[in-house]
Chains A and B, each alone.
Chain A
Amino acid sequence: MTTSLLMTLQVNVMPPQNIGAVPLGTRRIVPISGGVFEGRLQGTVLPGGSADWLLLRADGVLELDLRVTLKTHDGALISMRSFGLRHGPPEIIAALGRGEPVDPATYYFRTTPRFQTADPAYAFLNRLVAVASGDRRPEGPVYTIHELL
């Protein structure tokens, strides 16, 4: 497998909506208020179409289902969707839950972004599969996104 760095995406999160225990697990929705990205493309995250739908499963694994709208510095809109998983030792996950800074190498946070855009300059995004490593900082997650070559 070879990859190429595409961008770093930093997302600002708002307090979660705790839906609670649903048949599939514990549902939590995290609205996104903004963010920035830089790399082969750069710009900001638009709120409104952006949130992360989380499901904590019975086996302790957190499923993440992220949708964000990105706006590039040159005005292109890009819709990004990303499914991922997060899990780790209980004390590490508990520290994350308390909003503490935690070394991302101590837990597993990996996602698989896909993109949709109508802007010809960014059409290459429509055709690629990406994989990202997440760092759940207290102010919000940072994703290092790589194109799968």
Chain B
Amino acid sequence: MNSRPLMLLRLTTAPTEEVGVTPHGRLSIFPVTGGSFEGERLRGKVLAGGGDWVTRRADGALELDLRVTLETDDGALIYMTFTGVRDDAHRYFRTVPRFETAAPGYAFLNRLIAVGIGDVRAEGPVHIIEEIL
């Protein structure tokens, strides 16, 4: 399958809210305080207020559930979510992002399927997001 780079996403988070073991697994909530995204077609910052609801499953893998709002450098707001899996035992960190925007210049985001490759770096996780062509 062919893909085209969409953006590199960086997130900053506040201390984790450790909810603990619920019927679904161990729930940790990562409040998002900010971040940035950059790509050929769009760039800007991540607004505070989103979060990643992460559940550690019985098999040790993490189920990710992120919601954030992006603001482009030209003032458009984009609602972004992703679900995905992070399994450090198998060095696998992959997400499926989705986008919603009302800004006409970014409406192409409403019409595409994307995937993300997560990379854990010293400064925090970075997501390399590609459009599926």
Contacts and interface: CB of A to CB of B under 8 A. Distances in A.
Interface string A1-44: 10100000000000000000000000000000000000000000
Contacts, number: 55
Interface residues of B, number: 23
Interface stretch (A69-77, A93-101, A125-133): A125-133
Contact of B3 (A1, A61, A129): A1
Contact of A3 (B1, B61, B87, B90): B1
A126 B113 contact: no
A128 B85 contact: yes
A145 to B, nearest CB: 10
Contact of B96 (A3, A112, A126, A127): A112
Contact of B110 (A59, A84, A146): A59
A1 B117 contact: yes
Contact of A129 (B1, B84, B110, B111): B84
Given A110-B132, A112-B96, A133-B1, A126 B115 contact: no
Nearest to B86: A127
A108 interface: yes
A112 B115 contact: yes
B113 A84 contact: yes
B58 to A, nearest CB: 10
A105 to B, nearest CB: 11
Contacts of A1: 1, 3, 115, 117, 130
B84 A111 contact: no
A111 B94 contact: no
A133 B2 CA distance: 10
29 contacts: A1-B115, A1-B117, A1-B130, A3-B1, A59-B107, A61-B110, A83-B96, A83-B98, A84-B113, A85-B112, A108-B111, A110-B112, A110-B113, A110-B132, A112-B96, A112-B113, A114-B83, A127-B59, A127-B61, A127-B87, A128-B94, A129-B84, A129-B85, A131-B113, A131-B115, A131-B132, A146-B1, A148-B115, A148-B117
